């Protein structure tokens, strides 16, 4: 089941369901409860990870899927489970905090749908598999994975991956654009990213995230209107003056290093 802890300004949510770390309907409910808390809380970043060695979330519990097929929802309620999962994952996009998936093992099916719904995906090097193998089980992704993967990598590549039920190694997933980066320790790397994000002006991070999700699929003129509105709203926040003043207080020769601390450390 999902458990969360606080590390400074960062919330770490860990899913543990040995031995296979399959996700369940009950765990969807717990995830929904946690998102309620994050939306109302003051954390600066969220990290999602797996609590079973070698597994982020293997996929959804096939026993539960099969049981639902044998005893389906009433016709007017169906497909209730898919709609619920999609709504929960969409709420990760609506959070003001950035969400990082520390993919510390196998990440398939619902596990990869959860990662796709995160803002940053860090995959751990190792003999792990990443992707959406639902077609091999006689299913198709229904928790938003089919649509999100198509948007992420394009139609041709999504067709190849989904129709053939291909699951990739972490290195292949990076080459295909399924993950953001690789790390020897996905959780440690994700915590570094989360700490970096937590140090940024939170209002700027939140509004930039919101504007990107709202504008990404719109025609240029509509997207630019969202960008203009977002930029204006950020400038109304008094806290954004501090980093600008900090930057301007530096000698000219030190300003680029301030903007690029990773390569200047």
Secondary structure of 84-148 as H, E, C letters: HHHHHHHHHHHCCCCEEEEECEEEECHHHHHHHCCCEEEEECCCCCEECCHHHHCCCCCCCHHHH
pTM for this structure?
0.94
Q: Which of 113, 115, 167, 165 is nearest to 144 (CA)?
A: 113
- Token output for 3: 């458990």
Q: What local confidence, expressed as pLDDT, does residue 71 receive?
A: 76
Task: Name beta bridge partners: 52.
Answer: 55
Cis peptide leading into 79, omega within 30 of 0? yes
Per the annotation, the verdict on 113 as an active-site residue is yes
Residue of 134, 214, 227, 253 marked active site: 134
Distances in whole angstroms, Cα of residue 120 to Cα of each of 114, 123, 161, 229:
11, 10, 20, 25
Residue of 113, 171, 172, 192 marked active site: 113
Q: What local confidence, expressed as pLDDT, does residue 100 receive?
A: 98
CA atoms of 125 and 131, how far apart (whole Å)? 15
CA atoms of 204 and 243, how far apart (whole Å)? 11
Q: Which of 85, 91, 165 is nearest to 130 (CA)?
A: 165
- Token output for 254: 């030190």
Centre a 10 Å sphere on the Cβ of residue 209 and count the other Cβ atoms it contains.
Answer: 19
Write out the DSSP string of 147-213: HHHHHHH-HHHHHHHHHTT-EE-HHHHHHHTSSSEEESSHHHHHHHHHHHHHTS-HHHHHHHHHHHH
Task: Name beta bridge partners: 101.
Answer: 48, 121
Q: What local confidence, expressed as pLDDT, does residue 202 receive?
A: 94
Q: What local confidence, expressed as pLDDT, does residue 78 receive?
A: 61
Tens of pLDDT along the chain (265 residues)? Answer: 999 999 999 999 999 999 999 999 999 999 999 999 999 999 999 999 999 999 999 999 998 888 887 777 776 666 788 899 999 999 999 999 999 999 999 999 999 999 999 999 999 999 999 999 999 999 999 999 999 999 999 999 999 999 999 999 999 999 999 999 999 999 999 999 999 999 999 999 999 999 999 999 999 999 999 999 999 999 999 989 999 999 999 999 999 999 998 886 6
Per the annotation, the verdict on 246 as an active-site residue is no
Q: What local confidence, expressed as pLDDT, does residue 76 receive?
A: 61
Q: Where do we find the tokens 């598999």? A: 129
């Amino acid at each position: 089941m999902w458990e969360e802890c606080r590390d400074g300004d960062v919330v770490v949510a860990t899913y543990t369901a040995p031995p296979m770390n399959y996700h369940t309907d009950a765990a969807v409910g717990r995830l929904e409860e946690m998102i309620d808390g994050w939306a109302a809380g003051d954390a600066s970043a969220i990290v999602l990870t797996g609590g079973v060695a070698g597994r982020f979330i293997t996929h959804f519990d096939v026993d539960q899927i099969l049981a639902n097929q044998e005893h389906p929802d009433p016709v007017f309620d169906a497909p209730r489970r898919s709609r619920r999962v999609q709504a929960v994952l969409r709420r990760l996009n609506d959070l003001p905090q950035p969400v990082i998936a520390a993919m510390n093992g196998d990440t398939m099916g619902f596990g990869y749908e959860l990662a796709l719904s995160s803002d940053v995906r860090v995959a751990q090097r190792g003999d792990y598999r990443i992707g959406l193998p639902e077609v091999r089980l006689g299913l198709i992704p229904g928790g938003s994975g089919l649509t999100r993967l198509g948007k992420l990598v394009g139609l041709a590549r999504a067709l190849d991956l989904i129709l053939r039920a291909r699951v990739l190694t972490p290195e292949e997933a990076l080459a295909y654009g399924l993950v953001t980066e690789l790390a020897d320790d996905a959780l440690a790397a994700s915590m570094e990213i989360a700490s970096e994000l937590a140090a940024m002006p939170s209002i700027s991070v939140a509004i930039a995230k919101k504007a990107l999700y709202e504008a990404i699929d719109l025609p240029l003129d509509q997207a630019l209107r969202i960008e203009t509105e977002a930029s204006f709203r950020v400038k109304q926040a008094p806290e954004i003056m501090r980093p600008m003043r900090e930057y301007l207080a530096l000698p000219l020769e030190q300003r680029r290093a301030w903007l690029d601390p990773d390569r200047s450390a």
